[in-house]
Amino acid sequence: MAAVSETIRVGTRGSALALWQTNFVVDQLRVFYPEIEWSITVIKTQGDILLDRPLFALGGRGLFVKEIEDALLEGTIDLAIHSLKDMPTTQPDGLAVMAIGEREDPRDALVSHAATPLDDTMPLRIGTSSLRRRAQLQAWQPRWNFADVRGNVHTRLAKLDSGDYDALVLAAAGLNRLGLPQRITRLLDTSDCLPAVGQGVLCAEYRLDHVALATRLSVLQDPHTVAAVMAERSFLQCLDGGCQVPIAGHATVTDDIIALRGRVASLDGSETLDASVSGPITQAVALGVEAARLLLAQGADRLLQRDQLPN
C-alpha cells in the first residue's frame, strides 16, 4: 500500500444518489492516485432543507450547491462532486467546474404506480418538480395533470407507491445509478421531452488555485462529453435561464461534430420554440450562443419572462 502523501476532502450532499455519485468518482480517483487519501464530507444544502415549496419558487439552480461552494471557498473541503444539471452556468469567483466521466442516459423517464396503467388518454396525476418537464409533457399529453413533488429519488418513489401520484417524471440517469432501472415504465424520447442542460453528467468543482487537483481530475474527462456540455451550458448562459423557466438543451457528438438542440416553452406547453445547430467540437461555445440567438430571434425572450411563473 502506498504511503499517504496528502488528504483531499470531498464535499457532497447526503442523498443516496449524491453519495453514489461521489463514491463513484472518488473510487476512480483512488485507482489513479492511491497515495492520496480521499475523505468524504456530507453537507446539507438549502435545497435539501426547504422541501415545502416548489423549486422554481426558491430560485431553482444553485439551491443544491451554495453551502458546498461556501465550504470550498472557506477551505473546509477541497473538492465537490455534483450533478452538472444542478449547477449554475457561472461559479463564484475562485471556483471552477469540470465535467468528468462519460454521460449516463440523458433522457427523462416516466415511472408509474403499479396499480395505474400509463394510459395516454386518462387524466393522470403526474409528479414533477421541473417546469421544463411539466411544460413539454403538457404539450405532449394535454390530459395529464401535474403536481409538484420534492425530496430525493427514494422519497419520491415512496410517495408514488403510496398513491400520491399516478406517475413521476425522473431522470433516467439517477434511476440507473441507484440500481433502479426496473422502475422505469417508459423512457421519453428527446423529441417529446428534451433533457435539461447537463443532465446525466457528473462534474467536479474545485478552487482555481488548486492547480494540482485540476490536473489530477482531468484524467477522468471524456472529450466528447466535455464538448457537448460546453455547448449546452453556453446555450443556457446566453438565455440567462435556470430551473425557473422551461429551457431544455441537449448536445450529442459524432465524429467530432456537435449537434445541439435547444428548446424554450411556455409554462402551459401551448407554445414551444426549437433551434438546432451543428458544427465541430472546437466551436462548442459558439454553437451554444448560436442556438440561443436563433431562439431569441423567434421570440424566446417573451416566453422567458419570470412573471409567468405559476403561483
What is the residue type of 80? A
Length of the chain, in residues: 311
**β-bridge pairing 247-254 and 257-265:** antiparallel
Residues with Cβ within 8 Å of 122's Cβ and at least 6 positions away in sequence, in order, are: 143, 166
Q: Is 105 a catalytic residue?
A: no
CB-CB neighbours of 33 under 10 Å: 16
Buried b / exposed e over 70-85, threshold 16 CB at 10 Å, is ebbeeeebbbbbbbbb
Half-sphere exposure of 91 (CA within 13 A, CB side): 24
Indicate the DSSP class of residue 35.
T
* Choice among 86, 105, 108, 166 that is catalytic: 86
* Residue positions annotated with a catalytic role: 86
